[in-house]
A and B are shown apart, each in its own frame.
Chain A
Amino acid sequence: MITIENISKTFGDKTILNGISGTFEKGKTNLIIGASGTGKSVLLKCIVGLVTPDTGTVYYDSRNFTEADKEVKTEVRREIGMLFQGGALFDSKNVEENILFPLDILTTMPVSEKLDRVNFCLKRVGLENVNKKMPSEISGGMKKRVGIARAIVNNPNYLFCDEPNSGLDPQTSILIDELIQEITHEFNTTTVVVTHDMNSVMGIGEKIMFLYKGDKLWEGSSKNIMHSGVKQLDDFVFTNKVMKSLKEG
């Protein structure tokens, strides 16, 4: 479980996050949602330590991450897998080398065992026979899958996904969402997904945190998001016609 307490972040004179608190539960897909520019990605970066919050604390299973020294932070980070918005695959390495990378750096496994693990992860994300392809030779959806494979190769306790379905067609988006949820349940990870995609919200949102202009306005699940009673959330959820007709019908 990940707990955040009173996270605030300001860039210049602009407040991006304003005292955000909450918990992200183990074995569930926890979503951070909100319109563009509401601070979702900054909050995610504060949680994984890529951005240092001005105030507040992040706990990984009761381990204080924010105030930990570099060695402890490194230890926690080695339990983290992260899928970045653009995949963030290393351009100079092929698919297999990209997924091998965390194992090469962080473990002392024999090579054959590492390769077995890579092939298992690739198979798990529905990719086979792409081991030797370079990132520039595969599609956006495949890059995301390789990104997920790289994120889970080291059996992480915590999985973070920053806009996993941005730039993907609706069908591939749903496949990626389902994959993230399956992996969360299968490996019992604490998964945090940043998204503004309503299909994701309704499909995999087991626990949802809604941000609006740097404030947390609502917390709940996809089951009760339709009846939150929060105007800003309703405006966000019922933007498209399908959702509007669902509410009215």
Chain B
Amino acid sequence: MEGFGKYVMFLSSLFVRRESFKTYFDLTIEESYQIGVKSIYLVALVSCFIGAVTTIQTAYNLVTPLVPKSVISNVVREMTLLELAPTIMAVIYAGKVGSSMASGIGSMRITEQIDALEVMGINSSSYLVLPKIVASLLMYPMLVIVAGVCALFGGYLAGTLTGVVTPTDYITGIRLNFNDGVILFAMIKAFVFAFLIASISSYKGFFTSGGALEVGIASTEAVTTSVIAVLLSDYFLAQFLAPILLGV
């Protein structure tokens, strides 16, 4: 509870003694590039393979000829858009971006760069962390969209090239009984996960003390805590939002 209280205090400190809008704007653009653009390759690659594997696995489990082949892509769509794109990508995002945030801020702490900011009269937490959180909120939903599209495309390639499903069946399955609430639900998840990963990782880095070893520990803790927070929030979001958005 003490740690949670400290985390809440840390978050509230982001909104006091702020610098000019231009300063934050420039930092947010820079962070967006680091967080978003530099993650596209990894996200696209992983999600393509997730889509491909899901297609192949589903096809091999459909042993009865009574079930139409379009069900394969229907299953792929439901799995990727609602769960694999936002949640599995969040785990990868925590590993790549979260650990980088924690180690970057942690290194600044142990080399007195954060003290230097404070001595200049700058609110170091706000200056360093707020742009990261805003950039994360902007970029992660876009990465989720990229992941969803790439997963469906990966599934299409794997399914059609191996012959387990025809292009027509795949497209039919993708469009079959589509509930657009899924997109809204995925985006809500993306915003929540983006906030949790960026804020928890920054928090872990900001309160690092010691040396290089502690920076490594903070980075590991950032990933572990972020992933746990993502999975817990995923459960609660499913519990409370699924009946509203998906009508189940």
Contacts and interface: CB of A to CB of B under 8 A. Distances in A.
A77 B120 contact: yes
B113 interface: yes
B74 interface: no
Nearest to A78: B121
A77 B17 CA distance: 13
Given A88-B112, A91-B113, A105 B122 contact: yes
A77 B116 contact: no
Interface residues of A, number: 27
B174 to A, nearest CB: 43
A70 B112 contact: no
A75 B118 contact: no
Contact of B113 (A50, A70, A76, A88): A88
Contacts of A50: 115, 118-119
B132 to A, nearest CB: 13
B120 A102 contact: yes
B120 A105 contact: yes
B66 interface: no
A17 interface: no
A48 B119 contact: yes
B19 to A, nearest CB: 6
A88 B120 contact: no
A88 B115 contact: yes
A101 to B, nearest CB: 8
A74 B121 contact: yes
B12 interface: no
B19 A105 contact: yes
B179 interface: no
B116 A82 contact: yes
A106 B23 CA distance: 11
Best-surrounded residue of A71, A76, A82, A88 (most CB of chain B within 10 A): A88
Contact of A82 (B19, B23, B107, B119): B119
Given A70-B16, A88-B112, A106 B121 contact: yes
Interface string A47-89: 0111000000000000000000011011111101010111011
A86 B17 CA distance: 27
Nearest to A162: B112
B116 to A, nearest CB: 4
A187 interface: no
B17 A105 contact: no
Contact of A74 (B17, B23, B111): B17
A49 B19 CA distance: 20
Interface in B99-143: 107-108, 111-113, 115-116, 118-122
Nearest to A79: B121
Given A70-B16, A74-B17, A91-B107, A86 B112 contact: yes
B220 to A, nearest CB: 21
A51 B112 CA distance: 13
B118 A106 contact: no
A231 to B, nearest CB: 34
Contacts of B121: 73-78, 80, 106
Contacts of A70: 16-17
A90 to B, nearest CB: 6
Nearest to B118: A50
A88 B116 contact: yes
A8 B113 CA distance: 26
A85 B112 contact: yes
A78 B112 contact: no
A105 B119 CA distance: 13
Given A74-B17, A105-B19, A105-B23, A84 B112 contact: yes
A84 B120 contact: no
Given A70-B16, A91-B107, A105-B23, A80 B119 contact: yes
Interface in A9-56: 45, 48-50
Nearest to A90: B113
A155 B17 CA distance: 22
A106 B120 contact: yes
Interface of B: 16-17, 19, 23, 107-108, 111-113, 115-116, 118-122
29 contacts: A45-B115, A48-B119, A49-B118, A49-B119, A50-B115, A50-B119, A70-B16, A73-B121, A75-B121, A77-B118, A77-B120, A77-B121, A80-B119, A80-B121, A82-B116, A82-B119, A84-B112, A85-B112, A86-B111, A86-B112, A88-B112, A88-B113, A88-B116, A89-B113, A90-B113, A91-B113, A104-B23, A105-B122, A160-B119
Which 3 A-B pairs have CB atoms at the shortest separation, nearest pair first? A77-B121, A88-B112, A88-B116
